[in-house]
Structure 1
Amino acid sequence: MRAVVFDFFGTLTDPGIEGGRRDAAAVTAAALGVPAAAFWAAMVASFTERITGVHGGTRDVLREMARRCGVEPGEVRLDAAVEAHHHGSVPLWKPRPGALELLAALRGRGLRLAVLSDCGAELCQGWAGTPYAPLVDATVFSWQEGTRKPDPRLYAAAAERLRTAADECWYVGDGGSREHQGALAAGMRPVLVTNAGYPGAGRHRDDPDPYVPADLIDDLPQLLALTNAWDRRLQ
């Protein structure tokens, strides 16, 4: 195995803060001048559209969400809403304990690393400023690619950007978006992070994957031991 492809939200990020999405959305809704409950419902219903770039960037997305709530926002309100939305997004990128150390250890072993995420424009635009960026060799973001997991083109793009074959890649994720089915179909070896230490984390998964891989870890730092054991098995 020469590479590891990681999901982002709930895998590299802290699963315990996923519940903060709704509170952050409420701040954006207030800036737009729309009811928080209606705005949240519109955001949830439009998830696939938003993460595949159907409506464009953050500003255009928020304008469309406001319209779906029956409001035509002015430019000043949109300015404030964009700022609020970006401000609310960044805390959701907080690394889970041990994530950055794991990435550094895997790189130290010579493994190439990628992130494959279903995400909106915010992460694409802010990625270079995250602590993950210096530790990751390649990214595949749904908003930039125009499609979402488990589309096989995303996994193929990750392998290509890592300059390795798909069957030489681990795929590590918490199980949303049928991601492990996609990884298996692409020829990668899937690993499920169960997040057993984060009760309720699973309820934030979009389109949970019914497929359960053979390789399971309860917390991300355990991946190092799993990959070490695999290497010893092959020796």
Structure 2
Amino acid sequence: MKAKAVLFDLFETLVTEFSDGKRISNRNYDYLELLGLPNEDFKKEWRIRSKARMTGIFPDYPSTIRDILIKRELNCKEESIKFLYEERMREKEIPFREIQPEIIDLLSFLKSKKVSLGLVSNCTEEEVRLWKDSGISKYFDVAIFSYEVGYAKPDERIYKLACHQLKVEPRESIFVGDGGSDELTGAYNIGLTPIQATWFNSYIESNFTKAADPLTLKEMLKDI
């Protein structure tokens, strides 16, 4: 499989927030006690703001919480907001603490092939605080974070921006991701060759080529 560049998704592709199908971190917060909003109502409001969070309309976690509380005509309890923000930042550090050796091996192999590597991630600022200090950032020539650029997968602009910065055409590039946010279809629609990474997340259905583990992907790309 020939290509000049490989673009990767981040969460559930290079790092994971889950183990044995369960989230690693503990999210047993009582939002009714902390914010005055029942847990299910909070989750609903959080989901409604997903795109706005990912595209930087809400610049950080506290601004999202304040917007929820204002729309619900509730008092902004700053101590509770600060507590939840600090807890979320600790939670988002977890995936970067122990990068799987197979991931490091894959990235190292691709760099040895002189292939350009790009990261394209739908994320918010607190989710990638440890990116630069992680064991994998050094392998990447370009890292595109949705909250910084103002658009998120599957918006074609985010893939095009990555390709532009890598100085390659989409048709010369491969995109690897677990398939969340319809990212594989988005990549395919602008000419990238999608490969679905199923080693962390095998629950998303697609008709694209699949790689069951990083070693399999390495073998698929051996002649890149």
TM-score bracket, shorter-length normalisation: 0.7 to 0.9
Normalising to structure 2: TM-score of the pair?
0.84
Mean alpha-carbon deviation: is it higher for 59-68 or for 41-50?
A: 59-68
Q: CA deviation at 1:117?
A: 0.9
2:116 to 112, 118, 132: 112
Q: CA deviation at 1:224?
A: 0.9
Structure number with the bigger relative contact order (C-alpha 8 A, sep ≥ 6) is: 2
Q: Are the counterparts in 2 of residues 28 and 84 from structure 1 also a CA contact under 8 Å?
A: no
Q: CA deviation at 1:12?
A: 0.9
Runs of 4+ in 1 over 6 A off after TM superposition: none
2:217 to 216, 220, 223: 223
**Count of matched residue pairs:** 219
Cα pair distance change 1:218/1:23, threshold 3 Å = same
Cα pair distance change 1:5/1:140, threshold 3 Å = same
Q: CA deviation at 1:76?
A: 2.4
Residue 8 of structure 2 is aligned to residue 6 of structure 1: yes
Q: CA deviation at 1:31?
A: 5.2
CA distance in 1 between partners of 2:25 and 2:109 (Å): 34
Alpha-carbon displacement from aligned partner over 1:41-73 (angstroms, at most 9, x marks no partner):
322232112111122212211222344565322
Q: RMSD of aligned C-alpha atoms?
A: 2.6
Q: Are the counterparts in 2 of residues 66 and 72 from structure 1 also a CA contact under 8 Å?
A: yes
Cα pair distance change 1:125/1:90, threshold 3 Å = closer
Q: Are the counterparts in 2 of residues 27 and 84 from structure 1 also a CA contact under 8 Å?
A: no
Mean alpha-carbon deviation: is it higher for 41-50 or for 88-97?
A: 88-97
Amino acid at match of 1:104: S
Q: Which residue of 1 aligns with 2:65?
A: 62
CA distance in 2 between partners of 1:61 and 1:161 (Å): 30
CA distance in 2 between partners of 1:144 and 1:218 (Å): 31
2:87 to 62, 84, 88: 84
Q: CA deviation at 1:123?
A: 3.0
CA distance in 2 between partners of 1:89 and 1:52 (Å): 18
Normalising to structure 1: TM-score of the pair?
0.80
Q: Are the counterparts in 1 of residues 17 and 25 from structure 2 also a CA contact under 8 Å?
A: no
CA distance in 2 between partners of 1:65 and 1:23 (Å): 22
CA distance in 2 between partners of 1:218 and 1:192 (Å): 9
Segments of structure 2 that go 5 or more residues without pairing to the other structure are none
Residue 138 of structure 2 is aligned to residue 134 of structure 1: yes
CA distance in 2 between partners of 1:4 and 1:157 (Å): 14
Q: CA deviation at 1:14?
A: 2.7
Q: CA deviation at 1:171?
A: 0.4
Residue 175 of structure 2 is aligned to residue 174 of structure 1: no
CA distance in 2 between partners of 1:37 and 1:54 (Å): 23
Alpha-carbon displacement from aligned partner over 1:97-156 (angstroms, at most 9, x marks no partner):
511221112112211111111111213443212222112111111111211111111111
Secondary structure, counterpart of 1:139 in structure 2: strand
Question: Share of identical aligned residues, percent?
Answer: 24
Amino acid at match of 1:115: L
Segments of structure 1 that go 5 or more residues without pairing to the other structure are none
Q: CA deviation at 1:191?
A: 0.6
Cα pair distance change 1:114/1:32, threshold 3 Å = farther
Amino acid at match of 2:48: A
Cα pair distance change 1:107/1:46, threshold 3 Å = same
CA distance in 1 between partners of 2:196 and 2:202 (Å): 12
Secondary structure, counterpart of 1:78 in structure 2: helix
Structure with more helix by fraction? 1
Q: Which residue of 1 aligns with 2:52?
A: 49
CA distance in 2 between partners of 1:98 and 1:141 (Å): 24
CA distance in 1 between partners of 2:125 and 2:168 (Å): 27
